[in-house]
Amino acid sequence: MPHRVALFSLLVPDYDAALSFFLAIGFECREDTDLGDGKRWVRIAPPHAETEILLARARGERQEAAIGEQGGGRVWLFLETLDFEADRARMIAAGARFEGDVRDEPYGRVAVWCDPWGNRWDLIQFANPDRSGT
């Protein structure tokens, strides 16, 4: 039986630009290893997070066309915060673009934002530690 989701890949056009953005919004770089031939193994995550993002530089037309479209236009990434307003302000300063208003839902406070490549995320502060809506 699988134990956990360890990593998932996020297509980006450039390792350094992506790394710079994510560090500016508070993520940490867990590894940046040169694999040769222009490839790198770049793992990032929010501090203390178990699941990591592997930044994957797109190669070829198919992958380049998928940058920012991995979720098919939907919010597909969910970034949990314990300090919604402070993290939202830091993200705006770093270039994250928020869509619409902040919403208070039964499950918590949430706002949709886009990274520089068009991926849609929720910034969410859950109402309950177990992430339930009740």
Domain boundaries, the chain: 1-67, 70-134
At the top level of CATH, the class of 1-67 is: alpha beta
- Looking at residue 97, its amino acid is R
* pLDDT classification of 134: cutoffs 50, 70, 90: low
* pLDDT classification of 131: cutoffs 50, 70, 90: confident
Residue 103 Cα to chain centre, angstroms:
19
The angle formed by the CA atoms of residues 119, 92 and 67, to the nearest 5 degrees, is: 15
Residues 117 and 96 sit within 8 Å (Cβ to Cβ): no
At the top level of CATH, the class of 70-134 is: alpha beta
Q: Which of 48, 39, 37 is closest to 9 using CA atoms?
A: 39
Q: Check if 1-67 and 70-134 are the same fold.
A: yes
- The separation between the first and the last C-alpha atoms of the chain, rounded to the nearest angstrom, is 30
Q: Which of 47, 36, 49, 42 is closest to 18 using CA atoms?
A: 42
26-75 pLDDT per residue, tens: 999 999 999 999 999 999 999 999 999 999 999 999 999 999 999 999 99
Residues belonging to the chain: 134
